């Protein structure tokens, strides 16, 4: 099977999905690897390094789609790529299918096989760690007076207190953000709905970090004295409510900052809208909003290295074992199967887009009892499940 590493074309995206080190390993497995020219340059991996690792360089995306059996990249498919998708070709990238119906339609129409990478991570995505840590630093950057913020130093100065920060959600993203802010001396309050998680934070940080149950009322009580809010909650896409609605912005002082790391329009923060690294912020009711959806691209080398380590096992398994056997062996890869030869296999996308779907095990002809188990990627359930092929 021939593998292709595409150059990402999303605005301000600098990461690459595999570094030369992983490419050398895959070449060592006996698989030809094609790399689109410039794919890793902005992450610090020159074309020559991929050639030294045994890859062949191709100039254009069209050549890559024509040559490779299996293509990998970092971010969603752009509209300019839709016509390049072809029947039977395998793709692994962050599709975020539930939020991108046009992209899903293009994938289904092509009759390709596509995995959404964000659902493949058994131990949490390295992009979540990167987004949490760097998102905290972006928040501090935009609190500076020179950037329109309140002008407060994170850890305070003699006679001047440090910032008050609120972290919504204590999953991998929130804990990563907390690690940075606490180390720099911020006064941090973490809110979550999982009491066991809050206890773990108390044990680790003691009285240096406050914890509270995540409710709209508790958040509202904190906002008048909060300088920086980091939203790290993966909000249910079908929900019509918010943790911070527009009226709550008036509780915050001008120059305060909200960094929505989860980057969900219509999500936990009602006033969130996507921005880019080129124009990362906007102001509503005096509150600075940072809305960049690909925060890890700003630390492209580190993020690429960590991401490659996380994905290379899945990529090698597909190359060495084929799609069906790779999915049987790893439930997290199986649950990430999004479309299979014209059939939707992603439950959350089915629920939110009202599309019929089949389970990955069904379309692959696998016995569920013989498959490696994995929890559902989200709590969203769909009533649109089609009967099994034999039903």
Beta-strand runs (E) in the chain: 3-5, 33-36, 56-58, 70-72, 90-93, 113-116, 164-168, 187-192, 209-213, 228-231, 257-260, 281-284, 287-290, 337-340, 343-344
Query: Is 96 noted as a catalytic residue in this protein?
Result: yes
Please name the residue that has the structure tokens 């939110």: 352
**Tokens of residue 180, six digits:** 């940075």
Burial-class residue 138 by CB neighbours within 10 Å (0-12, 13-18, 19+): buried
Whether 287 and 254 have beta carbons less than 8 Å apart is answered as yes
Torsion angles phi and psi, residue 271, rounded to 5: -90, 10
| Residue 264 annotated to the active site | yes
What 3-state DSSP class applies to 258?
Answer: strand
Catalytic residue among 31, 96, 289, 346: 96
Structure tokens, 386: 């089609």
Catalytic residue (one of 8, 227, 260, 264): 264
Q: Residue 268 has which token pair? A: 């936990």
Q: What are the φ/ψ torsions at residue 284 (nearest 5 degrees)?
A: -130, 125
Structure tokens at 41: 């340059």
Catalytic residue positions, numbered: 96, 264
């Amino acid at each position: 099977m021939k593998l292709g590493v595409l150059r990402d074309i999303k605005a301000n995206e600098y990461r690459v999905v595999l570094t030369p080190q992983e490419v050398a390993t895959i070449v060592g497995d006996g698989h030809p690897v094609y790399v689109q020219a410039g794919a890793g340059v902005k992450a610090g991996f020159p074309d020559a390094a991929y050639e030294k690792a045994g890859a062949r360089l191709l100039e254009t995306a069209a050549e890559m789609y024509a040559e490779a059996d299996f293509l990998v990249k970092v971010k969603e498919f752009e509209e300019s790529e839709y016509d390049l998708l072809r029947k039977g070709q395998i793709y692994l990238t962050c599709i975020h299918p539930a939020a991108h119906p046009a992209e899903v339609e293009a994938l289904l129409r092509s009759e390709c096989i596509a995995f959404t990478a964000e659902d493949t991570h058994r131990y949490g995505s390295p992009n979540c760690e990167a987004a949490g840590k760097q998102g905290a630093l972006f928040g501090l950057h935009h609190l500076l007076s020179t950037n329109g913020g309140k002008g407060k130093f994170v850890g305070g100065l003699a006679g001047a207190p440090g910032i008050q920060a609120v972290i919504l959600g204590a999953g991998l993203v929130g804990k990563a953000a907390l690690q940075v802010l606490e180390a720099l001396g911020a006064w941090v309050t973490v809110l979550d709905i999982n009491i066991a998680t809050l206890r773990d934070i108390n044990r680790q940080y003691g009285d240096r970090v406050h914890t509270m149950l995540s409710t709209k009322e508790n958040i509202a009580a904190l906002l008048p004295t909060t300088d920086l809010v980091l939203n790290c909650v993966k909000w249910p896409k079908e929900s019509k409510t918010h943790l911070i609605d527009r009226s709550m912005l008036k509780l915050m002082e001008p120059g305060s900052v909200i960094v929505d790391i989860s980057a969900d329009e219509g999500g936990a923060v009602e006033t969130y809208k996507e921005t880019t690294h080129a124009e990362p912020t906007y102001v509503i009711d005096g509150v600075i909003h940072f809305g960049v959806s690909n925060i890890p691209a700003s630390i492209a080398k580190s993020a690429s290295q960590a991401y490659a380590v996380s994905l290379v096992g899945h990529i090698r398994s597909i190359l060495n074992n084929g799609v069906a056997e790779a999915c049987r062996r790893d439930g997290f890869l199986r649950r990430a199967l999004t479309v299979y030869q014209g059939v939707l296999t992603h439950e959350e996308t089915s629920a939110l887009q009202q599309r019929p779907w089949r389970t990955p095990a069904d379309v692959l002809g696998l016995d569920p009892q013989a498959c490696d188990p994995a929890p559902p990627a989200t709590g969203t359930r769909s009533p649109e499940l089609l009967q099994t092929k034999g039903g």
